[in-house]
Structure 1
């Protein structure tokens, strides 16, 4: 079934599209090399890395012949950027952290036993003394699903211990739709719900499979600078203490409380689960440096000739983690070559391709957003403060990690959403002999982890494209082996670095497919929509009324 609202009855196959341009993969590789070099310092917002990255992007967009696509300045002219105000927080020095259980106080080492985030509540000092721990299962309150892990417990002043993912991860399928992660499974939700209930803090128990990444990823990411959009009351979204702990530590903690961790994990998958107090307390003391900074979304644009107020968006995040604790090799720079210098390099090359191929009827925006690694903040800000009307935004094609091990017979998107934009992508893929494979890791919650999601939440049809796993050379086994090795050894780690030996043919084929989809939208009159049962459908239908 198709979910497309057609403005005309004309078949899109009769539209006269411009010839597909070629892509300069040496130039793409060079752009990745520059952005992921050590002198860009891991491209963290509010650092020299951001300054260098923004300057680089503007230079490349200008050279490609794009127009400034950002906010309108005091002079009445569009610039290349959109200001994104953010709260920035860092833990000063090494935090003092401990758990008391089994009659002993156990000191905790940041990034080894526990990974604590700097408070985003605006305070400059976190001091917690012997706060009681309460196990609340998955930490979910979902009245529309008849689910409440809290059962009326007063959690004020308590540290909540929660599991990652949601109750259906290990099956069988229940109220959360099976193995595919819902937003209730994301760590961001766990923190938000705890804040809404007034908890003193959260400890998420790390487990590799339900988290979809190893401890190294958590340990390298959480102790770094934290960001959030500026909120009138930040305590509505954050508790003072937000952290993860190693699974083995959690097992010991439960055992000292006379509890079986595995048994309680199983109980937490039932709606009858009741919160369980642990015979343990947490103490923490550390200073926090907090300030409001302004980061930048960077935008280049090609104005449509016939419908300039209608916009197709290609997006990707330019930021990465920055500089953190040295790894085993002494490397402290998180270069972020695949994540996501590769997506931005592809975005730039697509901009060049559209410009070279000639004018489009609708406008095309090339949107490089900030602070994805801090919680999709640049795209969240754009969704709340759009430079171009969301009602007339035709669709969003997001790119995050566009270099794989080589050409694939298939392709995918993050998550299992049903929408007309995906139908169109499948159609275009079929024309070049490529097939769609549903997200093989729906339990990882990829739909909620890329910059298309904030736009989807406000109704704009949006996908985050993923290269396939069924490789021309080696098939699915080779594709999975490459992916698993990347997640284990490189994802959110200093080893995510540029290589001159990459096979870029797969990326070239992916760009070709995404170009064809975007060109079809830019020269056509189609208005993709979500499936009738999608939670995003109502917002899109309202925007359809605004277009009339």
Structure 2
């Protein structure tokens, strides 16, 4: 049932004060009271998580036997809920062609540091990815290493780490995050990249892309836990297994032949042997006059790569709109995780991915069951995407090849770990963005006695790490929901403690497993909030937009004519 609406400028001002953004269209239709949300079956959600994250699903790796088991399970649940198949040719699935690359055997890796031969062990001092260029092997010998600061070229900010350096035939060594993450900025001879708020320039994906544009033979990112926002275990586990990429006409335009990370201790050793102090070099890299520093070290690598084009799958189910069936609201979550990889200290090799992201998939299925029982005016698409862990590839493919037109997609609500660790008084979204959809979420949260707070870890660059991002950069209003961490019992301090423990001990590790003793007291509130904002969008006439100063506004505005 659609809630009654009225014009309410006071409500709009309240939303702005809470960090939201309200356009004229949204201001014209603000809900007076929360719709009566249905009761959600927490036991059923738990069972879906338990099933999808069990050892039988082998970590839900794309293009493994576990993929078929996973997508068939999701499709079966959607069918049982009463959804219509919304994939290709009347199926539940959208084919997603990907390049799959994996290192065959143990790679031979070594550096010569200050004249001394130094063998390196994969996963220990270094984590090298399988080449995503389509080549069958990597064989480099004694290539020079060059420190290029943060590896950023941002002319609009007056920044260029590559001035005067030729990287052809060389390995580029870079710091993670932005040049002002640890201080500096315009007031100290640097530039403004947002401080702790990571820009896309801070993401390792950008640094790999820029290395290819610079013609480098390879790139090594120096790992430090705080600017990376995760520990070495995450780096090792994410980079030493099978890699996937979209199918590119020219893979070498986006990738160098060798990409990887090195431990900070190894970096310190490299700098010391070159007569440099690591911390002093970092400080120099924060200033606009920084110039690349050749290191007295070379890199050699020799390993075979198996590369092939495979087909993975997104899963799509639809509740068809009763009044505006050609308009769409999307709920999304990624079904994949890391599959089977290197063993942990206990010998466990299955990366179960219970919270990341069996929980989001389970929430998606429960919302699908709920909407299937109603008659929303707009169509609601439930989209379980593949290969998020490999670079948002399933959502990127969907955004390029949408099953429902992007111009008439009212908004996207993405769920990646959307269920609270304990009951919270707040909620958030990944990254910082201003858009009408956040205002709606804020207002619906208020009705549940919860308040919006900005992303607690802006340095993590979460906006660029969730499946809403490919849709956002094409102009579609999109958010990735976070249940917040201000706990009813213990507040933000205890919430941060539990979040940090998960990141350190479980994130992208075999220990991310289903626990029957989880505290589920906040799950019904999380589900209600997720439902309420989608229900409001599905039963209203609002076309949310981005704020006037958003980089995504122009793309959205360009589609407005098609909705008239």
TM-score computed with the length of structure 2 as normaliser: 0.94
Q: Is the 8 A contact 1:8 1:525 kept in 2?
A: no
- Tell me if the contact between 1:337 and 1:497 (Cα under 8 Å) persists in the aligned partners: yes
| Aligned residues of 1:5 and 1:527 also touching (Cα < 8 A) | no
Map 1:443-462 to 2 at 5 A. 443-462=459-478
Q: Distance in 2 between matches of 1:264 and 1:46?
A: 42
Report the secondary structure of 2:558's partner residue.
helix
* Aligned residue in 2 for 1:98: 110
| 1:222-301 equivalence runs, <5 A | 222-301=239-318
Among 205, 212, 218, the alignment partner of 2:222 is 205
Question: 2:69 corresponds to which residue?
Answer: 52
Residues 362, 409 of structure 1: alpha-carbon distance in 2 compared, 3 angstrom cutoff: same
**SS in structure 2 of the partner of residue 373 of structure 1:** helix
Q: 326, 329, 336: which is aligned to 1:309?
A: 326
Q: CA deviation at 1:4?
A: 4.7
Cα distance in 2 for residues equivalent to 1:488 and 1:130: 35
1:347 equivalent to 2:364? Answer: yes
Give the match's secondary structure for 2:421.
coil
- 1:506 offset after TM fit, Å? 1.6
Tell me the CA shift for residue 404 of structure 1. Answer: 3.0
Please show how residues 126-137 of structure 1 align to structure 2 within 5 Å: 126-137=138-149
Is 1:507 aligned to 2:523, yes or no? yes
Corresponding pairs, count = 541
Aligned residue for 2:378?
Answer: 362
Secondary structure at 1:82's aligned position in 2?
strand
Distance 1:148 1:18 in 2: 52
Instruction: Decide whether the 8 Å contact of 2:50 with 2:514 is kept in 1.
Output: yes
Please state how far the C-alpha of 1:79 moved relative to its aligned partner: 1.4
Preserved CA contact (<8 Å) 1:4 1:526: no
Describe the superposition over 1:62-120 as per-residue Cα deviations: whole angstroms up to 9, x where unpaired. 1111111112x2xxxx2111000000000000000001012111000000010000000
CA distance in 2, matches of 1:149, 1:453: 26
Alignment of 1:114-193 (within 5 A): 114-173=126-185, 174-193=191-210
Contact 1:12 1:524 in 2 (8 A): no
Distance 1:387 1:114 in 2: 40
Partner of 2:487: 471
Q: How many angstroms apart in 2 are the aligned matches of 1:279 and 1:436?
A: 50
- Does the CA-based 8 Å contact 2:184-2:286 persist in structure 1? no
Counterparts of 1:432 and 1:250, CA distance in 2: 49
Residue 475 to residue 540, structure 1, CA distance change in 2 (3 Å): same
- Deviation track 1:443-482 (CA, whole Å, cap 9, x = no partner) reads 1100000000010010001101101111011111110111
Q: Give me the whole-angstrom Cα distance separating, in 2, the residues matched to 1:426 and 1:368.
A: 25
How far 1:55 moved relative to its partner? Answer: 0.5
Identify unmatched segments of 5+ residues in structure 1: none
Q: 1:488 aligns with which of 504, 519, 530?
A: 504
Residue 220 (structure 1) shift:
1.3
1:237-283 CA-to-partner distances (Å, cap 9, x unmatched) read: 11110000000010011100111110010111111110011111000
Give the match for residue 82 of structure 1.
Answer: 94
Q: Distance in 1 between matches of 2:164 and 2:323?
A: 57
Q: Is the 8 A contact 1:12 1:520 kept in 2?
A: no
| CA drift at 1:8 | 9.0
Once the two structures are TM-superposed, the CA of residue 7 in structure 1 deviates from its matched residue by: 5.7
Q: Measure, in 2, the Cα distance between the counterparts of 1:49 and 1:330.
A: 20
Equivalents in 2 of 1:382, 1:363: separation in Å?
17
Question: Residues 183-211 of structure 1, C-alpha deviation per residue, up to 9 Å, x if partnerless?
Answer: 00000000000011111000000000000
Q: Is the 8 A contact 2:320 2:380 kept in 1?
A: yes
Aligned match for 1:29, one of 28, 31, 46 = 46
Displacement after TM superposition at 1:402 (Å): 2.4
**Residue in structure 2 matched with residue 329 of structure 1 by the alignment:** 346
In structure 2, the partner of 1:13 is 31
- Matches of 1:250 and 1:137 in 2, distance apart? 12
1:526 match: secondary structure: coil
1:170-191 Cα offsets, whole Å, 9 max, x none, are 1244421221000000000000
Question: SS at the partner of 1:99?
Answer: strand
Whole-Å separation in 2 of the counterparts to 1:101 and 1:51 = 47
Structure 1 contact 317–343 (Cα < 8 Å) conserved: yes
Deviations 1:274-293 (A, max 9, x none): 00111110000000000000
Runs of 5+ unmatched residues, structure 2 = 1-15, 186-190
Counterpart of 1:383 in structure 2 is: 399
What is the Cα deviation at residue 362 of structure 1?
A: 0.4
CA contact (8 A) 2:448 2:525 kept: no
Aligned equivalents of 1:508, 1:93: Cα separation in 2: 47
Alignment RMSD (CA, Å): 1.3
User: In 2, Cα distance between the equivalents of 1:286 and 1:230?
Assistant: 22
Structure 1 CA distance for aligned equivalents of residues 23 and 43 of structure 2: 39
Distance 1:239 1:539 in 2: 30
